[in-house]
Amino acid sequence: MSAMAEKYLLIAGLTTIVVTALLRFAMLARGKEPWWPMATGLIVTLLFLFAALTTRWLRESQGPFLTLYEVLLSNLFSLSLVFLVAASLVPALRASTMIVLVFLASLGAWSLIVAADAVPLPATFDNPWLWLHVVSGKLFLGLCMLAAATASLMLSRSRSSRTGAGVVLSEQGLDEAVWLTMSLAFVCHSFMLIAGAIWAHSAWGRYWAWDSLETWAFITWLAIALLLHARVTFTRMPAALGWSAVVVIFAVAVLTFFGVPFISVAPHKGMM
């Protein structure tokens, strides 16, 4: 199948995200927040993105692992899927829908302006641990995105004076959602590092080399570990401080996934 068909499918997916975001904005303006229009929009988006990924996969005979375009396209799909599933299971996460859609639209727009050329996957890279490494990494980024989006929403709400039991209960549920998703993200990140080390030994004959990507991935893991430890240890830690830290950690994770691999000269370049 042609590269042009793949591009049209990506544009269709991005268009659906934008339309869903505009619909969300219109509903919020009217004081309505039904979930089914958002879920429908995300499902249609996933269908377009799945078709785009399948088209590329069949044409190149390899998974979307190496180039920035492939990482953006595959993560656009995985992040949309993680949000759809998580928000369907945990209703509190739906409050951050607008923030998530804006982020997804940004990734989609970015994917349209980078080169879509393919790079052959080295034979030594292709083993089951690569799949475990990549899947756990995408789950981590998706869960971290949910935590950061909800934390951003909480920070914006904390700047406005609100009273009433309903608001307090709502904010308590959102705060719990932040730390639940961040804790799950930490588990996925830990498994990503373990699977990545085993895969690296198969690919390059070493478990860890402190290249740029490995270093920043470890920094991200350490930051999450320290934040979760601080929240348990220092019970009087200001809530806004914890939410701000979650947002910063997500920013570092985005840099690690979409920045570091493509400016590094190490063997890990482009692999996430």
122 lies in some domain: no
Same domain flag for 158 and 258: yes
Task: Give residue 252's Cα distance to chain centre.
Answer: 12
pTM, rounded to two decimals: 0.91
217 lies in some domain: yes
Same domain flag for 154 and 265: yes
Give the range of the structural domain holding residue 105, as residue numbers without chain letter: 1-117
Last residue of a domain, one of 117, 150, 165: 117
232 lies in some domain: yes
Last residue of a domain, one of 59, 82, 117: 117
Same domain flag for 74 and 105: yes
Domain count, the chain: 2
Same domain flag for 17 and 57: yes
Going from the C-alpha of 92 to that of each of 14, 149, 156, 173, 179, the distances in angstroms are 25, 12, 16, 6, 12
Phi, psi of 135, rounded to the nearest 5 degrees: -65, -45
271 lies in some domain: yes
Reported as type and span, the H/E element at residue 150 is helix 128-158
Same domain flag for 137 and 268: yes
User: For position 39, which CATH number holds?
Assistant: 1.20.120
Same domain flag for 133 and 82: no
User: Tens-digit pLDDT profile for the chain (272 aa)?
Assistant: 578 999 999 999 999 999 999 999 999 888 888 899 999 999 999 999 999 999 999 888 888 888 889 999 999 999 999 999 999 999 999 999 999 999 999 999 999 999 888 888 888 788 899 999 999 999 999 999 999 999 999 998 876 644 444 444 467 789 999 999 999 999 999 999 999 999 989 888 889 888 888 899 999 999 999 999 999 998 788 999 999 999 999 999 999 999 877 675 555 655 54
Same domain flag for 134 and 58: no
Same domain flag for 167 and 86: no
Last residue of a domain, one of 86, 117, 148: 117
108 lies in some domain: yes
Beta carbons within 10 angstroms of residue 11's beta carbon: 15
